[in-house]
Amino acid sequence: MTDTEKTAYKRVMLKISGEALMGDTTFGLHPPTVQRIAKEVKSVHDMGVEICMVIGGGNIFRGLQGSAQGMERTTADYMGMLATVMNALAMQSALEELGIHTRVISAITMNEVAEPYIRRRAVRHLEKKRVCIFAAGTGNPYFTTDTAATLRANEMACEAIFKGTKVDGVYDKDPAKFEDAVRYNDVTYDEVLQKHLGVMDASAIALARDNGLPIIVFSLDEPGGFRGILAGEGTHTIVHE
């Protein structure tokens, strides 16, 4: 396949959960899984697509869970943001081993390990075909990495958000629990909100809707799935107007 002529999108946001990096383990990072996902990203990068990434931190620390156990919510959320930086650095390392120039861009200033978020600089990295991994969420407590991904996707003028999950799209109920779960080929933003379909949190869906940014939900466990959808193949659900 040659460059972007045969792809539906030229610049995309890939949003994955921290749990996606755990593999079969129960906590932390599973290096072979990180490497596998990095290869998926490389396969799309090789098509000429400009890639932004946001990775959650739930494999290390989840602010809401810390808050539920009695920790002050703002502190818990900041700890969750730091977990996303750890995941971003792991992904940067895996991508650079594959020869992909990558920048970790943090919403919390930590100059020794990541660049500060400056929109114009980040856009320039993308133009130079570097992968940009946006870490530390929005830099604010009470906002999820879903919202951070949607915010950065809009700021970077991405044409779609690709939400990598464990299932191949959006279902009316959990397909792991219900055999009669039905997958949607496409669904509107308002349906996602009204039916509580759990694609992303409500503020992220509303932000995508207000800016006409499609969300494509696909299985990150399917080898070649990310590349396949950009080539117009594969099973997925698109969330749009």
Over residues 135-160, the pLDDT tens digits come to: 999 999 999 999 999 999 999 999 99
Helix or strand run (H / E) with residue 203 = helix 202-210
Measured CA distances, 3 to 47, 160, 238 (Å): 5, 18, 23
- pLDDT at residue 105 is higher than 60: yes
**pLDDT value of position 196:** 94
CA–CA separation, 202 vs 75, rounded Å? 23
Residue type, 116: P
Measured CA distances, 220 to 23, 37, 40, 102, 119 (Å): 11, 8, 9, 20, 28
- pLDDT at residue 2 is higher than 90: no
4 band by pLDDT with thresholds 50, 70 and 90: very low
Mean pLDDT value across residues 154-173: 96
Summarize pLDDT for 43-95 with one digit per residue, the tens.
999 999 999 999 999 999 988 888 889 999 999 999 999 999 999 999 999 99
CA–CA separation, 122 vs 161, rounded Å? 17
Summarize pLDDT for 173-200 with one digit per residue, the tens.
999 899 999 999 999 999 999 999 999 9
**pLDDT value of position 134:** 98
CA–CA separation, 201 vs 3, rounded Å? 33
Q: Which of 80-89, 110-119, 229-238 has the lowest mean pLDDT?
A: 229-238
**pLDDT value of position 8:** 84
**pLDDT value of position 79:** 97
Tokens representing 17 are: 């959960």
- What is the pairing mode between strands 215-219 and 160-165? parallel
Q: Which of 5-9, 164-168, 210-214 has the lowest mean pLDDT?
A: 5-9
**pLDDT value of position 64:** 87
- pLDDT at residue 5 is higher than 90: no
User: Do residues 37 and 97 touch, judged by C-beta distance below 8 A?
Assistant: no
- pLDDT at residue 3 is higher than 80: no
Give all strands of the β-sheet with 186-188 in edge-to-edge order: 115-116, 102-106, 131-135, 50-55, 11-16, 160-165, 215-219, 237-240, 186-188
